[in-house]
Amino acid sequence: MTATPRIGVLALQGDVREHALALAEVGAEVARVRSAADLGSVEALVIPGGESTTMSKLALSNDLMEPLREARRAGMPMYGSCAGMIMLADRVTDARPDQETIGGIDITVRRNAFGRQVDSFESDLIVAGIGADPLHAVFIRAPWVESAGPEVEVLASVVSEVGAGTIVAVRQGPLLATSFHPELTGDLRIHRMFVEIVRHSR
């Protein structure tokens, strides 16, 4: 199939615009998703960076959490960056006890694992599946993956001194997640990879 993939961006809060621009640039048709009806009109979903506590609350108060879980269980490809990674994680630590997620990736993520905003940083990474050139990654109050189940493919780990060895990009089937924000740098390789996942999931 060569039809243009129609990909939604969860537009409850966060850097929706930056993901929408990146997706459009790699050839997707983009729609903003704020309701179950919006979700029904897309074949894949990006969950943007933002504040995961808020995003989770808004998904619940707008009756979107269950439809999101159903779509995920039905096999909808999803990609989450930062807060989006937290939303796709089966387990979260250092969060409010009532924080709910969509889940689907068998990982435990630690919120704000690298520290507060003064510890937010930029560094280079090698990401499996996007070529040998390092990717310049931006981490903002970022989570990391504390532990990953056997079905989870680890795509990248931190190589700089701070947090060296911690897992920051994972994939499980049609679900993709990064601790960092490729939507802020203009490097489109992660978005391109996601569009490939969407095409192969058809």
Positions in the binding site for another protein (CB under 8 A): 11-18, 34, 49-51, 53-54, 57-58, 61-62, 82-83, 94-96, 99, 111-112, 116-126, 134, 138-141, 158-162, 181, 184-185
Q: Which residues are catalytic?
A: 82, 181, 183
CB of residue 91 to another protein, shortest distance in Å: 16
Instruction: Output b/e per residue, 68-81; b: 16+ Cβ within 10 A.
Output: bbebbeeebbbbbb
Which of residues 52 and 172 has its CB atom nearest to another protein in the complex?
A: 52
Which of residues 54 and 147 has its CB atom nearest to another protein in the complex?
A: 54
Which of residues 124 and 151 has its CB atom nearest to another protein in the complex?
A: 124
Which of residues 106 and 154 has its CB atom nearest to another protein in the complex?
A: 154
CB of residue 136 to another protein, shortest distance in Å: 9
CB of residue 32 to another protein, shortest distance in Å: 11
Which of residues 149 and 162 has its CB atom nearest to another protein in the complex?
A: 162
- Measure the CA–CA gap between 34 and 50, rounded to whole angstroms: 15
Q: Spell out the long-range contacts of 122-126 with Cβ–Cβ below 8 A and sequence spacing 24 or more.
A: 123/158, 123/159, 123/160, 123/162, 124/159, 124/160, 125/156, 125/157, 125/158, 125/159, 125/168, 125/169, 125/180, 126/156, 126/159
CB of residue 70 to another protein, shortest distance in Å: 22
Phi-psi region of 50 (alpha: psi -120 to 50; beta: other; left: phi over 0): left
> Which whole-number Å values give the CA distances from 132 to 1, 135, 167, in the listed order?
28, 9, 18
CB of residue 120 to another protein, shortest distance in Å: 4
Look-up of token digits 């701070």? 162
